[in-house]
Amino acid sequence: MAFAGMNYLAIVAAVVASFIFGGVWYGVLSKQWLAALGKTEEDVKGTGMIMPMVVTVIAQLIMAWILAGLIGHLGPGQVTVRNGMISGAFCWLGFVVTTLAVNHAYQGAKRTLTLIDAGHWLGVLLIQGAVIGLIGV
């Protein structure tokens, strides 16, 4: 099997698009997310938002880079929006939602928190896969 390669512009574009998605996702679901987390808006603002955002960008950059590598391993001519989204969905199902479910179960988190967070990461990986597939190698 031949490696199709990676497009670093696609990786950066995927990070930007998925970061924006996260802002919209949690903006729309902020009240439900805070309630599920058991915190107030003041609690969250008191801890600061800069470091979590830096961690988010770094984590999403790594995710997009790895996802691009996985999609690239499908081979030449296989880096498509459809295959990117399928790869993102498989990564979410196999690694992200399973890890999230285990961690939240041990932490005693509310199911609502798990659903909101899992939905966010599904959206992130679908968007990243679509962008990487769209821009190609």
Q: Are 18 and 120 a contacting pair, CB within 8 Å?
A: no
User: Is it the case that residue 1 has pLDDT exceeding 80?
Assistant: no
pLDDT digits (tens, 9 = 90+) for 103-124: 999 999 999 999 999 999 999 9
Least confident range from 2-11, 28-37, 38-47, 86-95: namely 38-47
Q: What is the DSSP string of 25-76?
A: HHHHTHHHHHHHHT--HHHHHHH-SHHHHHHHHHHHHHHHHHHHHHHHTT-T
Average pLDDT of the chain is 95
Q: Which residues touch 23 (CB under 8 Å, ≥6 apart)?
A: none
Alpha-carbon distance of 35 to 41, in angstroms, equals 10
Q: Average pLDDT in the 25-35 region?
A: 97
| Structure confidence at residue 5 as a pLDDT band (50, 70, 90) | confident
- Give yes or no for a contact between 87 and 79, defined as CB atoms under 8 angstroms apart: no
Confidence of residue 48 (pLDDT cuts 50, 70, 90): confident
